[in-house]
Structure 1
Amino acid sequence: MKSFVICMFLIANFGLIFGQSSNFHPEDKCSRTGGHCVRQDECAVEFAYTDENYCPLQSSQGAICCTQIPDSWTDCQKRGGECSDESMCGGIRKDKGGHCPEGKVCCRNKMS
């Protein structure tokens, strides 16, 4: 039983230990500012709303509202984009931080 508890603790904290992105869900007040609920260490100070009212359901787990997409978010969809052929992006900006399958680019029209 003790090893099970230790194993679950390590799994739960794997992202924190190895610098992976947080998995907080969107909350209304933060989303209305154009922000994302993230760990404080994922957000540059100038883009952080540290008031716990912006991510109230998750602030006890360390969530703050950040108005910039963290560099640790590499999934194109999580960054607000869609993986497409480059020719399909048209005037939509390409997000070099959003990873896509080989031959595709991350097309994103959100500005945050």
Structure 2
Amino acid sequence: MNMNCFIVITVALIWCQAARSIESNFYYEECCGKKGGACVLKNECPQPVSEEFESLCPLQKSLGAVCCKGIKSEDLNCYQQHNACFDPKKCPNNLNLGKKGCPEKQICCVLV
């Protein structure tokens, strides 16, 4: 009985983590970034999106992007954080953020 309970709890925790992670791959847009937000799908935003914020990702709006102010930076991918994916050899170690949604054999590098 205890093992079944453990399995159910583990599966529930994994599902909750997956449900709150950001799956969209929109890039940074200045209009949204200046307001402290990130471009994501509306259903990925943990709080309601105001009408003003719905139009702050104009270049990606047709793809469903809205500006969300309530997302933690660790939940965002490389492009949403206004960085870029590079070959690891082209990114100094002190600017390497790891994978963060980059294609295979690339890492997220801080743009300076």
Question: Do both proteins adopt the same fold according to a TM-score greater than 0.5, normalized to the shorter chain?
Answer: no
Structure number having the greater helix percentage: 2
Q: Could you say which TM-score interval applies, normalised by the shorter chain?
A: 0.3 to 0.5
